[in-house]
Amino acid sequence: MNHRDTALTRVETLTAEIAATDAARDREIARAVYHGATWAQIAAVSGVTAQTAHRKYRWLRWSPTEQTMWCEPPLPTGQ
């Protein structure tokens, strides 16, 4: 395997790790919101503003009985 292929394989591995980490973060944010965390608290530990945290994660939901997270996008406005 040459250097290019080694680098590309590493990029592929890192991309998969980033996706897994992002999914884990989203699950924990959904859980935190379910349990009463504010957007300011989530922002403080995420390194973003409360407005950015809300805008990015407001559609995440948590089911404590099933221990799962899902995304609930807004209903269409019909406009």
Cβ neighbours for 54, distance < 8 A, ≥ 6 positions apart? 39
Number of structural domains in the chain: 1
Domain of residue 48 covers 3-71
Mean pLDDT of the chain: 96
Please give the C-alpha separations between residue 74 and each of 6, 10, 14, 15, 34, in angstroms, as whole numbers.
Answer: 43, 37, 32, 29, 18
Label residue 6 left, alpha or beta by phi (over 0 means left) and psi (-120 to 50 means alpha). alpha
Q: Is residue 63 part of a domain?
A: yes
Q: Is residue 78 part of a domain?
A: no
- Whether the pLDDT of residue 78 is over 80: the answer is no
Q: Is residue 17 part of a domain?
A: yes
- Tokens 């699950």 map to which residue? 27
pLDDT digits (tens, 9 = 90+) for 25-72: 999 999 999 999 999 999 999 999 999 999 999 999 999 999 999 999
Q: Is residue 79 part of a domain?
A: no
- Whether the pLDDT of residue 79 is over 70: the answer is no
Q: State residue 8's pLDDT score.
A: 97
Q: What is the pTM of this model?
A: 0.84
Distance CA(32)–CA(50), nearest Å, equals 14
